Amino acid sequence: MKKLLYHATAFFCINLIIFCPNYNIQADDMISNKTPSDFTDFSKEEPLANVLNIAGQIKEPFSKFEALTQISTAYIELGEYNKAKYILSKAFDIAKDTKNQFSKAAFLSELIDKYISLKDNEKALEVIQNIDFADSRADALVKIVTDYIQQSQYEKALKLIENIDEPFSKALAFYKLINKLTEQKLYEEIVKIKKIIEKSSPEVQKFIQLILKEETKKISYNPITNLFTFRTPLQKTKALIAIGKSCISLKLYEAAKYILAQAILISKDIKSEYFKSDYLAQIAIAYAQIGEFEKALEIANSIKITLCRSELLTQIAIAYAQIEEFEKALKVIGEIDAPHLKEKALSQIVIQYIKVGKEKEANRIIDLIGGTSSKTQIYSMIADYYVQNGKYEKAIEISKIVKDRFIKLKVLLSIAKGMQERKNFSPEIQKIFSETIASFN
């Protein structure tokens, strides 16, 4: 319960800070006119360095942290690890000074993930020391243990496990280590660890047994066997859906349709409307995967839970768009009740229009979207698509449309990373990019 409360509150805090309506009003005040001297070590010829200069000028700590971690990710993906570590060190300074404990823990957790991806577990351990919540520290330690296990550094993993105080996290870490040692057939090491477990607290031993029980259930699950052993409609429907999906993966489409039809019949006897809606949605998606859209829509219209039906219609609309059936996709979107899902579907149609070169149609759809925030996110997605395909001039034009300065920075970061990665952009593009960067201030 404590973990759930922590994660929920941390998520709320970050989203409140980054995406609150007042963000755009305050954005102009977040940028200062002076670039900090500690960012001048980066070559001015690098497109990413230009974006980094902007990030270095941001005054508001939460936005600055977000910008720095995103830029560090770009450098990691380019294989420039020392630069990434330098930027992360600046983000670490911000995290340490954060007053809100939940936001601080969330920031530090993100940094730990970054350092683990850089194989710098020593730095990750240093970051952990600044987390105030015991449960959060334990979760972070399990992440590092997992990385040590993947690197076959079993002694380091074991030593770290012994420092975990929270019983469930400790049990989970022990399970991961034993599981890996079993795969490697290192039986002497397993005996050694089991002796350590026997000396652990009763809580740790109890949790290990529970974890083993749950994992065994996953391994032993066989939909065909269970179809004949399960008694309830819910269990039988679940097994039939699993078999139907297997048939689809094997391209046995007629068999899949027959099995899915049986699943629909049995699902009618499920008493819980929630589970019935969930399983019907899974069946409908399976039909859509094999091109049976009319059947998928028929099932969608039979679902009584509004949100579940909207989620399903969103996926069907996206599937239509992916095969360039845009009019049908738009018709389905008209039936979606949830506004946020309707915007999600529309954004995917925009991207599909862009992919097939129908920019006028894409702009027409963008005009249908009401919220400025949603439009901004779509522009960001379009810019990413252009960057991935080397169309930097178009991406730069999109960056000029975006009004939200934080999203604009993300778009410019995407462009800069793409330019730096390919190293084949023309001087004209470099000039346009530099002018766009200069106009940001």
CB atoms within 10 A of CB 96: 13
Cα–Cα distance measured from residue 305 to residue 284, given in angstroms and rounded to the nearest whole number: 15
Domain ranges of the chain: 2-220, 223-302, 305-364, 371-441
**What residues does 31 pair with on adjacent strands?**
58
Phi-psi region of 353 (alpha: psi -120 to 50; beta: other; left: phi over 0): alpha
pLDDT tens per residue across span 315-365? 999 999 989 999 999 999 999 988 888 888 998 899 999 999 898 899 888
- Amino acid, res. 174: F
What DSSP string runs through 242-279? HHHHHHHHTT-HHHHHHHHHHHHHHHTT---HHHHHHH
Closest of 381, 379, 419 to residue 399, by C-alpha: 379
> In which residue ranges of the chain is pLDDT below 70?
1-45, 215-230, 370-373, 424-425, 439-441
Q: Rounded to two decimals, what is the model's pTM?
A: 0.67
Helix (H, G, I), strand (E, B) or coil at 58: strand
What DSSP string runs through 295-340? HHHHHHHH---HHHHHHHHHHHHHHHHHTT-HHHHHHHHTT---HH
Closest of 176, 150, 181, 180 to residue 161, by C-alpha: 176
Six-digit token string for 277:
């809606």
Q: What is the pLDDT of residue 282?
A: 94
pLDDT tens per residue across span 249-300? 999 999 999 999 999 999 999 989 999 999 999 999 999 999 999 999 999 9
Taking the CA atoms of residue 168, residue 173, residue 177 and residue 182 in that order, the dihedral angle to the nearest 10 degrees is 30
Second-level CATH architecture of 2-220: Alpha Horseshoe (1.25)
